[in-house]
Amino acid sequence: MLLYDKLLEINMGQYGIRLPMSPARSEKILRYLEEHPAGFPVLSLGEAAKGLGLDSPLLSRRDLERVHQKEYITRLYENFSSGEAEAEGSLEQELLKTYELVNPDGTYNRYEPDKAIKPLGELFKAILYRVSGSYLACRLALEEGFCYYLGGGQHHGRYDSGAGFCLLNDVILAARKIQAEGRASLVWIIDVDAHKGDGSAELVMFSRDRGETFVGKDPEIITLSVHMASGWPLDEESIAKAEQGRAPLVESDIDIPIAQGEEARYLPRLIDGFRELERRSGVRKPGLAIVVDGVDVYEKDGLASTALIALSKEQCLARDRLIFSYLRDRRLPSAWLMAGGYGEDAWEPTANFLASLAADSI
């Protein structure tokens, strides 16, 4: 089952923002799958919500407050409603920070407000829609066993702010809502994006500090992150600026940093990660796995800072196939989020993986 619709495509240029994301990425994946059918249907978010008996595909404000700081969510909602422009602590300011649109000297970076045809604040509505799809993907995965969402994976979103182009953390929002509704107890997060899932690690740690997400002494979410050892957010500048006990310094339950040139060790180390997930789960079986399936590890990725890791097309496919087989063999429902991938070729690894599933008759 694939989850996608055109409303997910955010044209950042309409808000005056220039980013290296290819708006055609999902379209190219779908076109490839028309030629190489994978044998599963494509559902829109609206269709998914309706099929699940939900009034709306959107997460509620209460859902966001379960994971993020209440004051932060208030800033996003109240300033969105009032439409105040760039006031201190406003939604617009949060967006400028999240998308790194202001230089230290106050000038704009990759942002040309005079070229915008939509108010910046309206971007929140589009982001909320995208973020909400990850929860729907989890629900579909629980029903169908597997769902791939051509959206989601905003794993840098932090407790009280956005970071790294991620305003809200859909990964943890989805996991916590699924748990709050009693649909799964233990959830595994398997994050293989090139960048460390630092926001997810922070949010899970904070929820544990609040005494949430435990069964007895056992954590209910276990995070695994396989990522570049030294690229952003683990570069020297970010580490020097970081606060103790906050992202990116917070550790995932299992962190597997891959140093430059270690690509051949990627799969064996991922298998070590699976073993560690099992060890930490003990006798408990997870009810759901969320895979943050970033393909910015691809050697043809267009973001210069991801050059520190360079998996070939074959290695990307082997990685995703390994995760898929591992979860399928254990009959674990899995929701896959498309996550990072930049430039003109970012569609290739995801399209290859999905097309390869046709042979599996899932």
Binding site for Zn ion (CB under 5 A): 193-195, 294, 296, 340
> Quick one: 310 exposed, middle or buried, by C-beta within 10 A (0-12, 13-18, 19+)?
middle
Cβ at position 236, least distance to Zn ion in Å = 19
Residue 212: phi, psi to the nearest 5?
A: -100, 175
Cβ at position 340, least distance to Zn ion in Å = 3
Cβ at position 331, least distance to Zn ion in Å = 29
Cβ at position 31, least distance to Zn ion in Å = 24
CB-nearer residue toward Zn ion: 286 or 294: 294
CB-nearer residue toward Zn ion: 16 or 197: 197
CB-nearer residue toward Zn ion: 1 or 228: 228
Count CB neighbours of 43 within 10 A: 21
Q: Residue 17: beta bridge partners?
A: 111
CB-nearer residue toward Zn ion: 80 or 149: 149
Q: Are 42 and 2 in contact (CB under 8 A)?
A: yes
Which of 332, 290, 30, 339 minimizes the C-alpha distance to 137? 290
- Residues 137 and 274: their CA atoms lie apart, in Å, by 22
Q: How far is CA 48 from the centre of its chain?
A: 19
CB-nearer residue toward Zn ion: 193 or 253: 193
Which of 199, 150, 203, 146 minimizes the C-alpha distance to 176? 203
Residue 89: phi, psi to the nearest 5?
A: 70, 15
| Angle, vertex CA 144, rays to CA 316 and CA 50, nearest 5 | 115
CB-nearer residue toward Zn ion: 165 or 326: 165
Cβ at position 307, least distance to Zn ion in Å = 13
Cβ at position 308, least distance to Zn ion in Å = 12
How many residues does the structure list for the chain?
Answer: 362
